[in-house]
């Protein structure tokens, strides 16, 4: 049992049922966003659709992170906190339903919901100001409350401006939400996150998103005509999940002081990558995409996933930090890309080469864990 003498960021804290319930609506929203890049035109997906998908992902991810940072540092399973989260969940349903490629069509409900949610987050931090006992916690609450309030105001202002300029305050709010806390880093470091709880929240959400990729995969599996390539398509997803699982559960040193920003942005990359991979896997069975475009889309999404994983090396146990593993993983992806391009007219070869590359990378991280376990025993 943890004692009260422990620093808050090292105390045992697990994700509550209300937090996990709250996360489900984000998975629904991210699934809706992924549909944006399922529109093919002349064998490709336009850069405009990719950009819209990324912008919507950033909006949603930063919003989720601001709420999660409050829950991580100061949140408790109290009536007040649960009510705030359920109200936010209700608003998020409407925010999710306003996610469309045509921003103009749902501009008003989208930014109205964004404004209400950031106002709610600001109020939560504001209410906690009276309970803080340390200057660093007070300054942290104050920083989050001010940033969230500014974003809320800008979102509401965008609703009353002419169409020609109403995007300006909305996207300015996104910029402030993403970077507005940087000047307060001094106090944030003095009021660090509970890394164990934060990693748990990010990993549980990511696992559910992996589940959505699996659902997409099942949609292309035929029960009438089995194809051997199904095994390798499944292996791509499983090996990526295996790598993420091994890294998150066994490589992270959870007893360290951090403000958690890096974890936010690396998981943003990971989950954007999974959305693109989901589309690439679905299209791999339809032959709607140009061969070269599909190869680039598949390898690009997987590279983005690994970049998110590799940046998190800074959180690893010292003995598990090894640049050689990153170099090996990158080399495997390059080899797979070259093989796929050489045999671009044979889609099965691309699927097999990617599956083999991902599996080797996963096994490398597994070997790393076994090596550490052996050294600890000795």
Q: DSSP for 136-176?
A: HHHHHHHHHHHHHHHHHHHHHHHTTS-TTTTHHHHHHHHHH
Which positions ≥6 away from 226 have C-beta within 8 Å?
none
* Nearest alpha-carbon partner for 303 in 278, 260, 274, 279: 274
Longest dimension (CA), the chain: 69
For residue 213, the tally of other CB atoms under 10 A from its CB is 20
Which positions ≥6 away from 83 have C-beta within 8 Å?
none
Collapsed DSSP state (helix, strand, coil) of residue 201? helix
What is the pLDDT at residue 151? 95
Query: For residues 243 and 362, is the Cβ–Cβ distance under 8 A?
Result: yes
Residues 81-120 as b/e (b if ≥16 CB within 10 A, e otherwise) read bbebbeebbebbeebbebbbbebeebbeebbbbbbbbbbb
What is the pLDDT at residue 47? 83
Q: How far apart are CA 106 and CA 91, in angstroms?
A: 15
Q: In the chain, pLDDT over 90 holds for what percent of residues?
A: 46
Q: Rounded to two decimals, what is the model's pTM? A: 0.89
Reported as a single tens digit per residue, the pLDDT across 300-349 is 999 999 999 999 988 888 877 878 889 999 999 999 999 999 998 888 89
Collapsed DSSP state (helix, strand, coil) of residue 285? coil
Reported as a single tens digit per residue, the pLDDT across 154-163 is 999 999 999 8
User: Which run of H or of E encompasses 277?
Assistant: helix 261-283
Give the mean pLDDT of 169-196.
Answer: 89
Reported as a single tens digit per residue, the pLDDT across 84-95 is 999 999 999 999
What is the pLDDT at residue 75? 84
147-161, 192-206, 285-299: segment of lowest average pLDDT: 285-299
Higher pLDDT: 222 or 146? It is 146
pLDDT > 70? residue 371: no
Structure confidence at residue 289 as a pLDDT band (50, 70, 90): confident
Q: How far apart are CA 34 and CA 45, in angstroms?
A: 12
Can you give the residue ranges of every domain in the chain?
12-190, 195-377
Collapsed DSSP state (helix, strand, coil) of residue 74? coil
Sign of CA dihedral 314, 315, 321, 322: negative
């Amino acid at each position: 049992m943890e004692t009260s003498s422990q620093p808050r960021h090292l105390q045992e804290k697990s994700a509550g049922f209300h937090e996990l319930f709250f996360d489900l609506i984000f998975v629904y929203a991210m699934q809706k966003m992924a549909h944006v890049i399922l529109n093919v035109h002349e064998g490709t997906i336009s850069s405009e659709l990719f950009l819209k998908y990324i912008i919507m992902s950033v909006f949603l991810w930063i919003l989720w992170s601001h709420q999660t940072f409050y829950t991580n540092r100061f949140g408790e399973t109290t009536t007040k906190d649960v009510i705030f989260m359920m109200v936010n969940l209700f608003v998020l349903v409407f925010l999710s339903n306003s996610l469309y490629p045509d921003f103009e069509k749902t501009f008003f409900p989208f930014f109205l919901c964004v404004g209400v949610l950031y106002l709610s987050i600001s109020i939560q931090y504001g209410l906690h100001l009276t309970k803080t006992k340390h200057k660093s916690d007070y300054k942290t609450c104050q920083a989050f409350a001010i940033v969230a309030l500014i974003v809320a105001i800008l979102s509401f202002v965008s609703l009353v401006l002419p169409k020609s300029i109403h995007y300006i305050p909305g996207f300015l709010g996104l910029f402030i939400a993403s970077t507005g806390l940087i000047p307060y880093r001094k106090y944030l470091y003095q009021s660090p996150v509970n890394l164990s709880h934060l990693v748990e929240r990010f990993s549980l959400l990511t696992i559910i998103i992996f589940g959505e990729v699996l659902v997409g995969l099942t949609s292309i599996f035929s029960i009438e005509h089995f194809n051997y390539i199904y095994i390798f398509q499944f292996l791509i997803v499983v090996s990526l999940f295996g790598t993420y699982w091994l890294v998150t559960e066994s490589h992270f040193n959870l007893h360290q002081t951090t403000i958690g920003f890096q974890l936010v942005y690396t998981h943003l990359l990971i989950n954007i990558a999974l959305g693109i991979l989901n589309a690439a896997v679905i299209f791999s069975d339809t032959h709607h995409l140009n061969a070269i475009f599909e190869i680039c889309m598949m390898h690009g999404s997987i590279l983005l996933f690994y970049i998110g994983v590799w940046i998190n090396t800074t959180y690893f146990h010292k003995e598990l930090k090894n640049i050689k593993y990153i170099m090996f993983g990158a080399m495997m992806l390059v080899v797979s890309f070259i093989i796929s391009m050489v045999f671009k007219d044979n889609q099965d070869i691309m699927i097999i080469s990617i599956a083999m590359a991902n599996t080797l990378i996963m096994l490398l991280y597994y070997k790393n864990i076994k090596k550490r376990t052996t050294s600890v025993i000795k």
